[in-house]
Amino acid sequence: MLSAEKELRVALARFAAARIEHDVLPTGITSRALEDATRGLCALTGTRTAEDALHEADTLIARHRARRAGAGRGGALVA
């Protein structure tokens, strides 16, 4: 797994945990944690909203998966 993919997966996990925690019991702390996680995910994906960031993250992970599959078969890596 590439370091960029790992970083993206960590950001997604952080966002998911913050979203769940905030949905279960919203507080100022959970709100700030969700905002921070959203900002981080948006920064990694080059987007401005959580919805766009999640969509782009799915696209990026699919590309990483395709690269690994291509490399595993001795194929050329796709940019």
| Position 79 pLDDT exceeds 50 | no
Which two tokens mark 4?
Answer: 């960029």
* Cβ–Cβ < 8 Å for 63, 78: yes
Degrees to nearest 5, angle at CA 56 with 55 and 61: 105
Label residue 74 by pLDDT band (50, 70, 90): low
| Position 2 pLDDT exceeds 80 | no
Neighbours of 54 (CB within 10 A): 18
Label residue 72 by pLDDT band (50, 70, 90): low
| Position 3 pLDDT exceeds 90 | no
Q: What percent of the chain has pLDDT over 70?
A: 87
Which two tokens mark 23?
Answer: 């949905």
pLDDT of residue 55: 97
